[in-house]
Amino acid sequence: MRRIEFKKIGEEKIIQKTLEVLNKEGLVVFPSDTVYGFLADATSDKAVKKLISFKNRPPGKPISVFVDSFEMLKNLVEVNKQQEKVLKELLPGPFTVVLPSKGKVSSLIVSEKNTLGVRLPAFEPVIKLVKAFGKPITATSANISGKGPHWDVDSFLNTLSDKKKRELDLIVDAGKLPYKKPSTVIDLSFSKIKLLRKGEVVFSSTRRFTSSSPKQTRELGEYFAGKYLSFAKDRGLVFIVEGELGVGKTQLAKGVGKFLGVKEEIVSPSFVGFFEYEARKVEYFYHFDLWGVRDAEEIEEFNLEKLVGRARVVFIEWGERIGEVTEKIKSSCLIYIKMDYRNKRERTIEISEIKV
């Protein structure tokens, strides 16, 4: 068993070392956007058998796979136009989608109904790894079958015998991962969407989500930022967020900022209008709060149209007050989010793209 630390050798060497093991049909423990997982060549019966044996997994139980793009996904499973619309609402993100398999992976990981679970995560190391490997990689949690998932390498190793440890070819240690449930599993192979496993982010209907805690609201912010990041890099991205006082708009902004790589603590700009943050994945993240704005002239003074643009993300709380300024920023991708109280604990969060 070889163990390497992400922080010490960097992403490029991590991917190189992992590829060496995968190409030899080995077994790797690797971080993901949810929990630590087992990676193996999903097209190799030998590699998959090693994974199944290690996990003590019952015969015939399917295993999902990571892909690097919609193109790879559609090469592995059957997707009709309606299903593709749903996929584009969910991915990339913490979802596993189940669809009819095209037989491009090991038959050992396909269900008895000939369906395959596929993951396109909002997690760059996995995406880069799959792209470099050129083939799908298994996406199952690093644990013994019947046991819970792990967010920390040491806690996982503490559950293993010395013999089991020797069966692992490589462990990539990225430290303690943020606590998140494993991915939400959705079966799209039926005429109606079927929820098989509830994860951190819950999909209830097209573009509508439910949050039962500030933490889940932040997770949704991360998910939305990852889903629309390509638009931000191409022409700029603006989140226009509507919702009552205390519904969680700032929590959503915190999640967006976290995904973008903002190092500073994100706080509500209620009394100053907006804050500007430098971010790792884009040039700037602007966080506006229009709660104290009295009229359209005050909004004009922000010169919002000069702040939006390529490689910039703008998040506007109390976005219903933006009015005619929307027309001036239409060259960016505009995403409208409406947050409502469902009850004392839960919130509904509805998201849609604005066509101007």
Q: Which residues of 11-22 are buried (b: 16+ CB within 10 A; e: fewer)?
A: eeebbebbeebb
> Would you state the structure tokens that stand for residue 26, as one six-digit string?
């080995």
Dist CA 229 CA 212 (whole Å)? 25
Q: How many CA atoms lie within 13 A of 69 on its CB side?
A: 10
SS3 for 188-205 is CCCCCCEEEECCCCEEEE
Q: Which residues, at least 6 apart from 12, have a Cβ–Cβ distance to it below 8 Å?
A: none
How does pLDDT run across 273-293, given as a tens digit for each residue?
A: 899 999 999 999 999 998 877
Q: What is the DSSP string of 106-165?
A: -GGGS-TTSEEEEE--S-HHHHHHHHHHTS-EE-EESS-TTSPP-SSHHHHHTTS-HHHH
How does pLDDT run across 159-216, given as a tens digit for each residue?
A: 999 999 999 999 999 999 887 788 889 899 877 777 788 776 665 544 789 999 999 9
Locate tokens 């500073």: which residue? 264
Q: What is the pLDDT of residue 237?
A: 94
Q: What is the pLDDT of residue 114?
A: 95
Q: What is the pLDDT of residue 294?
A: 65
Q: What is the pLDDT of residue 91?
A: 87
- Tell me which DSSP letter residue 320 carries: G
Which CATH code of 3.40.50.300, 3.30.1360.70, 3.90.870.10, 3.40.718.10 fits the domain covering 2-197? Answer: 3.90.870.10
Considering only 128-132, 221-225, 340-344, which range has the smallest mean pLDDT? 340-344
Q: Where are the domains of the chain?
A: 2-197, 207-353
Virtual CA dihedral for 202, 204, 205, 206, nearest 10 degrees? -10
Q: What band does 330 get if pLDDT is binned at 50, 70 and 90?
A: confident
Give me the CATH code for the 207-353 domain, please: 3.40.50.300
The closest alpha carbon to 93, from 67, 119, 124, belongs to 119
Tell me the torsion sign for CA atoms 230, 263, 211, 156.
Answer: positive
Considering only 39-48, 140-149, 186-195, 243-252, which range has the smallest mean pLDDT? 186-195
| Same fold across 2-197 and 207-353 | no
Q: What is the pLDDT of residue 278?
A: 95
How does pLDDT run across 54-84, given as a tens digit for each residue?
A: 999 887 789 999 999 999 999 999 999 889 8
Dist CA 54 CA 272 (whole Å)? 56
Query: What is the residue-averaged pLDDT of the chain?
Result: 90
Q: Do residues 109 and 65 lie in contact, with contact meaning Cβ atoms separated by under 8 Å?
A: yes
